[in-house]
Amino acid sequence: MTDTNTATDTNTAALRDKQAPLKQQYSDDPESAVVTLKADGELDGSGVACKVSTGQAMAEAGLHPATGGDGTQLCSGDMLLEALVACAGVTLRAVATSLELPVSGSVRAEGDLDFRGTLGVAKDAPVGFRDIRLTFDLDTGDAEQDKIDTLIKLTERYCVVLQTIQGSAATSVAVTTR
């Protein structure tokens, strides 16, 4: 059986070793830290769907059952919440590793949508999530509360998806036609 503290210390050292040259590079050359992430989708085919390349496979997104979908395709709203869970979970694990805090558990995101907005039923109904709740259910062993508070504070601060949702990044839309 592996000693948790030794495994955490090893993970902490490995993460610091990997990140130290990146942090130095980004400090010396701030422009090198700016990376453009991309997502691509294909509208070919039949039905109301969009095939999205996930890097691992093609995922087909379609209408949520509350908007007329049959539930066999992914819902983009669910995908947004899944991206939040993934980012928050990875960020929490990185912060926990840095703090040398053994942690396990789960992450959940829930969001409330009023589908009257996206279906154009009520002009006063918002299009998009009205409320999003991010919840961590953590096993932190005998960690002190101030260390857990720091873990959550730093996770919130450095989670890209959470910060993007909270800050509403400037967004533009462009169209080309053939």
Tell me, what CATH number does 102's domain have?
3.30.300.20
Q: In this structure, are 122 and 162 located in the same domain?
A: yes
Domain final position from 74, 90, 125? 74
Q: Which residue has the higher pLDDT, 4 or 136?
A: 136
Query: Which stretch of DSSP H or E encloses residue 84?
Result: helix 76-98
- What pLDDT is recorded for position 169? 84
Q: Which domain holds residue 42?
A: 37-74
Q: Which residues pair with 74 in a beta bridge?
A: 61
Q: In this structure, are 91 and 51 located in the same domain?
A: no
> Roughly what angle, to the nearest 10 degrees, separates helices 145-158 and 76-98?
130
Q: In this structure, are 89 and 30 located in the same domain?
A: no
Q: Which residue has the higher pLDDT, 36 or 81?
A: 81
Among 40, 71, 44, smallest CA distance to 54 is for 40
- What pLDDT is recorded for position 89? 97
Q: Which residue has the higher pLDDT, 130 or 168?
A: 130
Q: In this structure, are 82 and 122 located in the same domain?
A: yes
**What is the rounded average pLDDT of the residues 64-72?**
93
d(CA 74, CA 14): 36
Number of domains in the chain: 3
Model confidence at 54: pLDDT above 60: yes
Q: In this structure, are 92 and 164 located in the same domain?
A: yes
- What pLDDT is recorded for position 10? 63
Q: In this structure, are 50 and 131 located in the same domain?
A: no
Q: Which residues pair with 134 in a beta bridge?
A: 109
Q: In this structure, are 88 and 165 located in the same domain?
A: yes
Q: In this structure, are 105 and 43 located in the same domain?
A: no
Sign of the Cα torsion 55, 164, 162, 114 reads: negative
Q: In this structure, are 69 and 119 located in the same domain?
A: no
Whether this model's pTM surpasses 0.75 = yes
Model confidence at 173: pLDDT above 60: yes
Q: In this structure, are 106 and 51 located in the same domain?
A: no
Q: In this structure, are 64 and 9 located in the same domain?
A: no
Mean of pLDDT over the chain? 90
In this prediction, residue 2 has a pLDDT band, given cuts at 50, 70 and 90, of: very low
Q: In this structure, are 83 and 155 located in the same domain?
A: yes
